[in-house]
Structure 1
Amino acid sequence: MNQRMKANQSPALDDLSSRVPSTLPTSSGLYWGGKWHTPSAAATLTCINPSTGKPLRDVLCGGASEVSAAVGAARDARRVWARTPPLERARCLREAAQRVREHAQELALIDAASCGNPVNAMTRDAEVAATQLEYFAGLVLEIKGETIPTANGSLNYTVREPLGVVARIYPFNHPFMFAAGKIAAPLAAGNTVVAKPPEQAPLSTIRLMELLEDVFPPGVLNCVVGGRDAGAALASHPQVDAIGLIGSVQAGKAVLHAAADTMKHTLLELGGKNAMIVYPDADFDKAVAGAIKGMNFAWCGQSCGSTSRLFVHDSIHDRFVDALTKLLPTLYRPGIATDMRTTMGALVNRTQYERTLHYIDKAREQRATLALGGRHPADPALADGFFVEPTVFVDVQPDMAIARDEIFGPVLSVFRWRDENEMLETVNGLDVGLTGSVWTQGLDTAHRVAAALESGYVWINDTSTHVPGAPFGGYKQSGQGREESKDELLEFTRLKNVNVMLGG
């Protein structure tokens, strides 16, 4: 959801790192039933600042017993919340949105310090989260059924009811946006929620719980910070009625396996290896800018929707690559995430950093040509952080690792194409299909290729933009269900049919 930022900001905007300690939450990572708790066994995790490699603070984390306690609190509250009038639920969501906006820069600073994304961009994440809370607040009266005509004099109708307890698990690339935005639909539908934030960056979620302590009744909104064991406990818990996950394909498969025994409803928004296709008649300059925007370099490419495979027609390929590699460094260069002038942050931790460098080395071994970047920045101020320059490879072939695997790093792979059928076969040749992008001025071409793409969300002459109310989700192993729309709201309801025989 990023918008392109200028590389040079006003000199008045500077490093906010000195303000970070005062913005961090003071509570533990365990919140349920309207109270903060300590784990049954002493357990903590250390949050690291990706820009410096230094610790921020320790937080308490839980396992299976804490998950059970949080689920119990949510279960106790579910009937009261389900019976709460829809407009009262909407009022609570709007109050939550207002508090998010009031604390937007504080929350952005927490995320910048803990997940490595630029503070300037993370302020927009807070706005997106507030908008989602308001959007679903506005849909509460749309949770309704219909009447079905009958031939026997009966009245047949349907009603939609909340599922009960919903678990929401989300990743480290937009911690606060997901923390606030992804509770909106299940709460609007009358469910109670147990949130499990990313273990790499849980601090903004903890702060959200502090801000909303008096907004929702006790037990309606709960949080358990923890690792994979906590996530597995939520997915397999018999009293969790549904689970919504944003994460990798591997994480989605693990959730499906864990949820199978209780057959709980799952909503999965998973990874992608997304393609942007440029035709010879495309607006050249806009397409170059779109290729950069689509990679989400502000987040170091750590976005499931990033168009990390760029297919450029042979007739404009060389000129396109030349323009792209000249423009990209002027827009995005790594910097300390808490500095308002920074346009591109750090990878979230050493694991992601080393994974990205591994794929860069592998691309060289497999004879892709490095056109830009590929290194840790030379700036001494960035020496201890998890930074990788914006990286572009050309001469990429479909069987290369960087052409097939979701790197989740700032690595763009450029393909040269001539034959449309062969190109589309390569584009659709993976087991994932989240987003896609087509650049052409031909109306027929645009709609023909959009129809041919095996992706759930397609841009024409654009990338990265999300439209409120437009359903977002993937094909194949990129997930199940749709989010960011009325479809997400209905995902957290179940349909009941009622048949009334009239006339005695």
Structure 2
Amino acid sequence: MHADQIPAGILPAQNALYYGGAWHAPADGEFADTLNPAYNEAIRQAPVGRTADVDAAVQAAQAAFPAWAALPPAERARPLYQAAEVLRKHADELALLDALNNGNPVSILAKDAHFAADGIAYFAGLAREIKGETIPMGPGNLNYTVREPLGVIARIVAYNHPLMFAALRIAAPLAAGNTVVVKAPDQAPLSTLRLAELIGHLFPPGVVNFLCGGAECGQALTTHPLVRKITLIGGVPTGKAVMRSAADSLKPVLLELGGKNALVAYPDADVDKLVEGIVGGMNFAWSGQSCGSTSRAFLHESLHDEVLGRVAELVQQRHKPGIPTDPATTMGSLVSAAQLEKVQRYVAWALEDGAQLVTGGKQPDDPALKNGFFHEPTVFAGVTPDMRIAREEVFGPVLSVFKWSDEEALWPIVNAVDFGLTGSIWTRDLATAHRAAQRMHTGYIWINNTSQHFLGAPFGGVKQSGIGREECFEELLEFTAQKNVNVKLA
């Protein structure tokens, strides 16, 4: 769908920054093209927020904080429930907008608004559960704790699920009594602006604020003295930059970063389900642009050849790149020229390092896709631990397949990477499954499953895959400070 074919009502009517309950032009008047990556053409221009805009948004959030924090939990929950219903009502149009702006297929993006709505309602329901404790101190003393909101929270979200991340990630801090400033991904800001139009008015002015911008906008948020916590969904280099910036003011951080996730298949795995799991776990529909993708598949030698052949066949059948706004498309484009170039570099390095190309490995031949940032789903076999595609996150549609025979030699290789976000284990034996889960150094593990998230189950990584947990009660507590009160009784 080209820019002149976009149906009325899909693009945000406003083209400004939203803070303090109103729309504001960027302070220096800067706008930049935001692209449709399927055609490498501009959809429209989007506002570029800089340091002055960040300061104005944070000041508005700080001004709104005392009154919002003082509201009873049930009153804070009410607009959150309303926001969830609005998202469900507008799910299809929001999916189309993200498909236009980030290149993921509209057919799969339709789930994003619903998952965000479910998450917002989940945290709204937990607003009353932020509780303290009483601690015995003996006669003559009453000791208790309370949990209080922090203040202004900055949330920097990623381009692979722009609407879902921007919507879902406001819920926990708001339920806990904080105010929020969201920075949209600079590659795909349009659904965040539309989100502001749809739900901004449900909250008192300054409680929720939405900015667009690049590195300067993010840097200004991490260093602003009134921002009490900074959170990021993004890559490891950006996460490290956020931590460095936050260190001067000792801001706490919550980081969901990259992954080089392993899928380990034992000899007794159900082969039919395993093949589905490998292809599904790679998130080819998102062109592999998912931090949770199981991009390293470790197949036992007894089933390696059969599974590899069937995986290649299923990938070719199921995931043919196509125009993201077409409901029939099962695999979209990469988000940008830079991301396409990165994938191409890793494919070239894999071939140089001696990996065997099983399928894919290039841009598609379809003339309709020639101008976009498309890349075929790619599978490499014969991958060894020293190769770059075995160690580094590609964030693209590239699956690395390993063959293993000795379990004791397997686990040091699985755990050798700097990442530890997700993992997947395939076996029919209960003891094997639990033993493998103990040995896999990650924050989130599926057994005989991949990719699925469950509200209430803590999602997050270890090592360089992040700090903290989200989508669970612990995320709510991330945005509170514990205070102890001791009363000496007369």
Q: Same fold (TM over 0.5)?
A: yes
Provide the rounded CA distance (Å) in 2 between the counterparts of 1:432 and 1:384. Answer: 34
Contact 2:16 2:26 in 1 (8 A): no
- Deviation of 1:118 after TM superposition, in Å, equals 0.5
Partner of residue 278 from structure 1, selected from 265, 279, 299: 265
The one-letter code sitting in structure 2 at the alignment partner of 1:89 is R
- Deviation of 1:397 after TM superposition, in Å, equals 0.8
TM-score computed with the length of structure 2 as normaliser: 0.98
| Structure 1 residues 224-239: aligned runs within 5 Å | 224-239=211-226
2:39 is aligned with 1:52 = yes
SS in 2 for 1:459: strand
Contact 1:32 1:223 in 2 (8 A): yes
**Cross-structure match for 1:43:** 30
Provide the rounded CA distance (Å) in 1 between the counterparts of 2:260 and 2:386. Answer: 13
2:360 is aligned with 1:373 = yes
Contact 1:169 1:197 in 2 (8 A): yes
The one-letter code sitting in structure 2 at the alignment partner of 1:84 is L
Change in CA separation of 1:81 and 1:477 when aligned onto 2, cut-off 3 Å:
same
**Cross-structure match for 1:291:** 278
SS in 2 for 1:499: strand
| Structure 1 residues 243-254: aligned runs within 5 Å | 243-254=230-241
Contact 1:20 1:110 in 2 (8 A): no
The one-letter code sitting in structure 2 at the alignment partner of 1:386 is F
The superposition leaves residues 106-140 of structure 1 with CA deviations (integer Å, 9 ceiling, x where unpaired) of 10010000000001111100111101110000100
SS in 2 for 1:45: strand
**Cross-structure match for 1:162:** 149
The one-letter code sitting in structure 2 at the alignment partner of 1:419 is D
SS in 2 for 1:467: coil
- Deviation of 1:19 after TM superposition, in Å, equals 3.3
Contact 1:20 1:109 in 2 (8 A): no
Provide the rounded CA distance (Å) in 2 between the counterparts of 1:338 and 1:152. Answer: 69
Contact 1:29 1:223 in 2 (8 A): no
| Structure 1 residues 417-436: aligned runs within 5 Å | 417-436=404-423
Provide the rounded CA distance (Å) in 2 between the counterparts of 1:447 and 1:418. Answer: 19
The range that moved more, 23-32 or 395-404, is 23-32
- Deviation of 1:40 after TM superposition, in Å, equals 2.0
Contact 1:16 1:339 in 2 (8 A): no
Partner of residue 466 from structure 1, selected from 453, 461, 468: 453
Aligned structure 1 segments of 4 or more residues deviating by more than 6 angstroms = 14-17
**Cross-structure match for 1:350:** 337
The one-letter code sitting in structure 2 at the alignment partner of 1:211 is L
Partner of residue 99 from structure 1, selected from 72, 86, 90: 86
Where structure 2 has 5 or more consecutive residues not aligned to the other structure, the ranges are none
Provide the rounded CA distance (Å) in 2 between the counterparts of 1:412 and 1:213. Answer: 40
The superposition leaves residues 81-102 of structure 1 with CA deviations (integer Å, 9 ceiling, x where unpaired) of 0011111111110000111111
Provide the rounded CA distance (Å) in 2 between the counterparts of 1:229 and 1:483. Answer: 26
SS in 2 for 1:377: coil
**Cross-structure match for 1:23:** 10
- Deviation of 1:17 after TM superposition, in Å, equals 8.3
The one-letter code sitting in structure 2 at the alignment partner of 1:312 is L
Partner of residue 144 from structure 1, selected from 95, 120, 131: 131
Contact 2:3 2:42 in 1 (8 A): no
SS in 2 for 1:223: strand
**Cross-structure match for 1:11:** none
The superposition leaves residues 275-302 of structure 1 with CA deviations (integer Å, 9 ceiling, x where unpaired) of 0000110001100100001001110000
Change in CA separation of 1:151 and 1:91 when aligned onto 2, cut-off 3 Å:
same
- Deviation of 1:152 after TM superposition, in Å, equals 3.6
Contact 2:255 2:468 in 1 (8 A): yes
The one-letter code sitting in structure 2 at the alignment partner of 1:361 is A
| Structure 1 residues 342-421: aligned runs within 5 Å | 342-421=329-408
Contact 1:17 1:338 in 2 (8 A): no
The superposition leaves residues 360-387 of structure 1 with CA deviations (integer Å, 9 ceiling, x where unpaired) of 1111111100000111111111111111
The superposition leaves residues 405-457 of structure 1 with CA deviations (integer Å, 9 ceiling, x where unpaired) of 10000000000111112111011001110000100011111000100110000
The one-letter code sitting in structure 2 at the alignment partner of 1:410 is P
Provide the rounded CA distance (Å) in 1 between the counterparts of 2:108 and 2:60. Answer: 35
The one-letter code sitting in structure 2 at the alignment partner of 1:120 is S
**Cross-structure match for 2:140:** 153
Aligned residue-pair number: 490
Contact 2:2 2:39 in 1 (8 A): no
The one-letter code sitting in structure 2 at the alignment partner of 1:378 is D
2:49 is aligned with 1:62 = yes
Where structure 1 has 5 or more consecutive residues not aligned to the other structure, the ranges are 1-13
- Deviation of 1:16 after TM superposition, in Å, equals 11
Contact 1:20 1:113 in 2 (8 A): no
Provide the rounded CA distance (Å) in 1 between the counterparts of 2:203 and 2:212. Answer: 20
The one-letter code sitting in structure 2 at the alignment partner of 1:448 is R
- Deviation of 1:28 after TM superposition, in Å, equals 2.4
Provide the rounded CA distance (Å) in 2 between the counterparts of 1:129 and 1:87. Answer: 20
Provide the rounded CA distance (Å) in 2 between the counterparts of 1:20 and 1:366. Answer: 47
Contact 1:71 1:165 in 2 (8 A): yes
SS in 1 for 2:201: coil
**Cross-structure match for 1:10:** none
The range that moved more, 159-168 or 261-270, is 261-270
- Deviation of 1:52 after TM superposition, in Å, equals 1.0
Provide the rounded CA distance (Å) in 2 between the counterparts of 1:420 and 1:213. Answer: 53
**Cross-structure match for 1:448:** 435
Provide the rounded CA distance (Å) in 2 between the counterparts of 1:287 and 1:326. Answer: 14
Change in CA separation of 1:350 and 1:21 when aligned onto 2, cut-off 3 Å:
farther
**Cross-structure match for 1:494:** 481
Partner of residue 171 from structure 1, selected from 114, 136, 158: 158
- Deviation of 1:29 after TM superposition, in Å, equals 3.8
The one-letter code sitting in structure 1 at the alignment partner of 2:443 is G
Provide the rounded CA distance (Å) in 2 between the counterparts of 1:251 and 1:54. Answer: 27
Root-mean-square deviation (CA, aligned residues, Å) is: 1.2
Provide the rounded CA distance (Å) in 2 between the counterparts of 1:28 and 1:266. Answer: 30
Provide the rounded CA distance (Å) in 2 between the counterparts of 1:17 and 1:170. Answer: 28
Provide the rounded CA distance (Å) in 1 between the counterparts of 2:332 and 2:69. Answer: 41
Change in CA separation of 1:16 and 1:471 when aligned onto 2, cut-off 3 Å:
farther
The superposition leaves residues 284-327 of structure 1 with CA deviations (integer Å, 9 ceiling, x where unpaired) of 11001000010011100000000000000111111110111111
Provide the rounded CA distance (Å) in 2 between the counterparts of 1:273 and 1:129. Answer: 25
Contact 1:115 1:348 in 2 (8 A): yes
Provide the rounded CA distance (Å) in 1 between the counterparts of 2:200 and 2:259. Answer: 36
**Cross-structure match for 1:340:** 327
Provide the rounded CA distance (Å) in 2 between the counterparts of 1:315 and 1:15. Answer: 49
Provide the rounded CA distance (Å) in 2 between the counterparts of 1:96 and 1:494. Answer: 26
- Deviation of 1:49 after TM superposition, in Å, equals 0.3
**Cross-structure match for 2:242:** 255
Provide the rounded CA distance (Å) in 2 between the counterparts of 1:29 and 1:423. Answer: 52
